[in-house]
Each structure stands twice: as structure tokens, then as C-alpha cells.
Amino acid sequence: MPKPDPELIDDENPEWTDEMFARARPASEVLGEAFMERARKPGRPRAVAPKEPVTIRLDAAVAQRLRASGKGWQTRVNDELARLIAKGTL
């Protein structure tokens, strides 16, 4: 058996043994349901009004120009369409 690398030994956070794994319990069992309900869910929070994915066919020159305007072009197109709708011209 090779000698352990002293650089990898951490006395404050030792490697788990089989016995430790056997004693381990799920967080919901240890912390309780009340805590787990309040615990932050991973990922982005759900949007109040999520955007709907759509497919649209554009002229090649239009699509090229929009993409060339840089990152976020879809959001800018959405904002401009929303502005035109609010104004009553679309």
C-alpha cells in the first residue's frame, strides 16, 4: 500500500469511513421538514411571467443584422415589440 501524501491529509475534515457512511442520514431527516421547506432550491428562481419560446422565420439579412448587434439581441427584439404593442402601432 502506498504511503499517504501529507499534502492531502486534512485532520479537520478526514476522509469518510464505511462506518460514517452507514450512519449518515438524509438532510430532511436530520434537519426536519420545516427547515427543508425554507431551504433555497437550486437554480434560477421561477419568473413571475415566464417568457414563451417561439419559432419565427426571418429574412437572412434581418437575422444576420440582429445577431451582429451582439449578445442579448433576442431581448432587445422582445423589448421593441412590447414597446410597439404598448404604443398601439403593432
Can you give the pTM of this predicted structure? 0.50
Our CA angle for 43, 44, 48, nearest 5°, is: 140
Which residues have a Cβ under 8 Å from the Cβ of 67 and sit 6 or more positions away?
A: 73
Q: How far is CA 1 from CA 4, 10, 11, 15, 85, in A?
A: 9, 20, 21, 17, 73
In a structure prediction context, what are the per-residue pLDDT tens digits for the chain, which is 90 residues long? Answer: 677 777 777 888 888 899 999 999 988 888 888 888 777 777 888 889 999 999 999 999 999 999 999 999 999 999 999 999 999 998
Residue 74's nearest CA partner among 89, 87, 55, 88 is: 55
